[in-house]
Amino acid sequence: MTNFKFKLSFLKAVVVLIFLPSILISQDKRSIFVKYTDEDVVIDGISDEKIWQNEENMTSDYWLYFPVDTTTATKKTVLRLAFDDEKIYAFIKLDHDGKDYVVPSLKRDFRASGNDNVSLIMDPFCDGINAFIFGVNPYGVQREGLISLGGTERGSFSTSWDQKWESITKINDDHWTVEMAIPFSSIRFIPNSTRWRLNSYRFDMKANERSSWVNIPRNQLIMNLGYLGDMIFEKPITNKGSKYSFIPFVAGGASKKYNTPTPSKVNLTSGVGGDIKVAVTSSMNLDMTINPDFSQVEVDQQVVNIDRFEIFFPERRQFFLENEDLFASYGFENINPFFSRRIGIGTDPVTKLSVQNPIYAGMRLNGKLNDKWRLGLLSMQTADIEDFGVPSFNHSMLSIQRKVGARSNFAGFFANKFNLDKESNLGNGEFNRLFGLDYNFATSDNRWTGKVFYHRSLSPQQKDLAFSHGATIGFVNQNAQISWRHEMVGAGYDAQMGFVRRRDYQRYRPQAAYSFFPKNSKINSHGPEGSYELINQGNLGFTDKALRIGYGLGFLDNSRFELMYANQYVYLFSPFDPTGTNRKRLVEGTSFQYNAIEAMYFSDNSKKFNYTLRSGGGEYFNGQRYFINSRATYRFEPKVSLSLGVNYNYFTQDHLEKSVDTWLLSPTVDITFSKSLFLTTFVQYNSQIKNTNVNTRLQWRFAPVSDFFLVFTSNSFMGDTGPESRFLIQRRDQGIVAKWTYWLNV
């Protein structure tokens, strides 16, 4: 019966998504002529070159995106573009009242929200799926990033991608200017092309406006690739720049464990390795890494875990992030067959925190074969971890994508994890393989979006129902958002390289939202939202039901308030401690239905003092839960930022003799001495695991994309222990690492 339901739902999803008529809206088709120049363009923020005096390669009249989307911005933005044999040049003039700007930090790769800044989005393949973004704020701080999945989801934008490019800004009495030079070698494109897709957006915090070159409805994300104009090159472009980049590193450190049965000695480590980037073609890139080291990667932000399933932590390592969507966008976020954090990351059995699992070497080939086909190939070889009993693995994945229609594609993959040591065992055999097919659908204006997928796993001890399937379809217009989603994971599905929260279930979730946009009001938008979720598991029937109804208000000052009511039903198919503190568990086979309410407020993050506050409570399993989750930040702009995160839970459960509370405190000090020297100290006290983590990172960017890092980490036990429940503080481990890396183009 389950197989029949699956086949029927899968067939319906395919038919609906492939044959769904595209309901299009008329878009403002804009274009800019990009003139060729043979003069030397000096990047100084001054438009004294002849190419910038030409009116042919100029455009202006940016459309408002916030607070309204029906008129042009009050402050003018003028964009000029040019190119030569090696680079794209941009000169942008941005009108502004006075010299006061909102620049929270001098750190690179800032987020646009809450900053004065301007960005360029370039889609060289004109597919509306992937694009490059380059941005600058008035103080000359750069950011560059990759947009994937059409820019339709908040997780489709990453600033972890780094490249060499130039920019200089100048601040004047009534405007600021920025001049950019972006090498063709830093961008993948089809050789001899004459047309790319383009957009540019600007945040003006004093005027409280967000604007974009192409008119984007405010119910869409401002980076949505369904809304792009054209940049028309005067002649076909080629890449005469560097084709090879070498990025060597040298690292050394010392660490010590304090929680071992016998006194631990200081462990000294050193390493040499690096990355090699090869532009195989102007649209295909080969990355190779030898003995990579990720000691400088920012520490994960801990969470209070009161969930019955694994918590997702995003990938932060740059090697895995370029063209990440080719490998990591299959399935849904909770049914992902390939999760790169499984590679090179282990778990400390004492602290339960992530630890580095050495990687011997790896390679990644990715890019465009032509304007229709996209290819990704990845292979990584990890070392064994004797202390944890983990053998050496090879992780490989082949991914291929075929564009269909305006912004849709078919994508297929094959992933393989295997152990080269035949005498050891993976637990489920000596290999684990997965393959599958996804269809990603989007109309040209992004009103209709959707996905349908089917994946299977293979292992020596193969089980029945080794599949996963899901489908979603959504519609959005100026006021309404409606979507349907269902997913199914078989009991035998085994994705050891992926992230799969649970198995042997079917899940169904419709949801809808509606927005009103009042005029002449401090409220910019408001409206209701709601969703209903059903989860059926094996022979147990419906184990989870959730009805959520809420109302949100967005204000003209960029703050937002939301109120949410939830009614939930949960059937426990295994014992569970609802406090997450290793207390007495609720027994298997019991069920609970409870009601709760939650309020959220997000203040204007452009202010020097800003905060978020989530609070709520109500029934929770067989008792009550009340919580506060908040983070407050104060900035001494643009060099110092102080913040404090507080997550507090209070539980009263009928099966426990007394109430339980949990704390997660996370103060952070972020200092940007200049645009090239940064210091961050991040402290986390988590009462759930009785651990305090300190991470201090000093970064000196001494040359473009070349850095020196000094990182100190410490973990300590903090909590009650022993029969007298005395509060103890005891060091667990400490370490310090220095790393030098340099980017060299050849």
- What digits encode the pLDDT tens for the residues 168-183? 999 999 999 999 999 9
CB burial readout 131-152, b (16+ within 10 A) else e: bbbbbbbbbbbbbbbbbbbbbb
Query: Between 24 and 519, whose confidence is greater?
Result: 519
What distance in Å separates the CA atoms of residue 328 and residue 330, rounded to the nearest whole number? 6
* DSSP 3-state of 210: strand
- How many structural domains does the chain have? 1
CATH of the domain at 37: 2.60.40.1190
Residue 191 lies in a domain: yes
> Is residue 673 over pLDDT 70?
yes
pLDDT of amino acid 4: 44
* DSSP 3-state of 421: coil
- Residue 373: CB atoms within 10 A of its CB come to 12
Residue 647 lies in a domain: no
- Section 392-419 average pLDDT: 92
> Is residue 19 over pLDDT 60?
no
Angle at 192 between CA 190 and CA 193, to 5 degrees: 60
> Is residue 132 over pLDDT 60?
yes
pLDDT of amino acid 427: 42
Across 123-132, 175-184, 361-370, the highest mean pLDDT is recorded for: 175-184
Residue 20 lies in a domain: yes
- Residue 129's nearest CA partner among 411, 498, 464, 437 is 411
Residue 724 lies in a domain: no
Provide the token pair at 87. Answer: 């680079």
- Residue 539: CB atoms within 10 A of its CB come to 7
Phi-psi category of 427—alpha, beta or left, where left has phi over 0 and alpha has psi -120 to 50? left
Among 252-256, 427-431, 719-723, 741-745, whose mean pLDDT is lowest?
Answer: 427-431
What distance in Å separates the CA atoms of residue 529 and residue 531, rounded to the nearest whole number? 7
> Is residue 647 over pLDDT 50?
yes
User: With pLDDT > 70 as the criterion, what percentage of the chain qualifies?
Assistant: 91
What distance in Å separates the CA atoms of residue 413 and residue 330, rounded to the nearest whole number? 8
The domain containing residue 90 runs over which residues?
Answer: 14-233
Query: Between 492 and 154, whose confidence is greater?
Result: 492
Residue 744 lies in a domain: no
Residue 597 corresponds to which amino acid?
A: I
- Section 263-271 average pLDDT: 82
Query: Is the torsion defined by CA of 10, 16, 19, 23 positive or negative?
Result: negative
Of the pLDDT bands very low, low, confident and very high (cuts 50, 70, 90), residue 21 is very low
Query: Between 21 and 550, whose confidence is greater?
Result: 550
pLDDT digits (tens, 9 = 90+) for 322-335: 778 889 899 999 99
pLDDT digits (tens, 9 = 90+) for 285-308: 899 999 988 888 877 777 778 888
Burial of 688 (0-12, 13-18, 19+ CB in 10 A): buried
Residue 212 lies in a domain: yes
Residue 728 lies in a domain: no
> Is residue 381 over pLDDT 70?
yes
Residue 432 lies in a domain: no
Per DSSP, the chain holds a count of helices (H) and strands (E) of: 2, 43
**Whole-structure pTM value:** 0.87
- Residue 617's nearest CA partner among 552, 550, 565, 553 is 565
> Is residue 24 over pLDDT 70?
no
Burial of 15 (0-12, 13-18, 19+ CB in 10 A): exposed
Among 107-116, 145-154, 616-625, 698-707, whose mean pLDDT is lowest?
Answer: 145-154
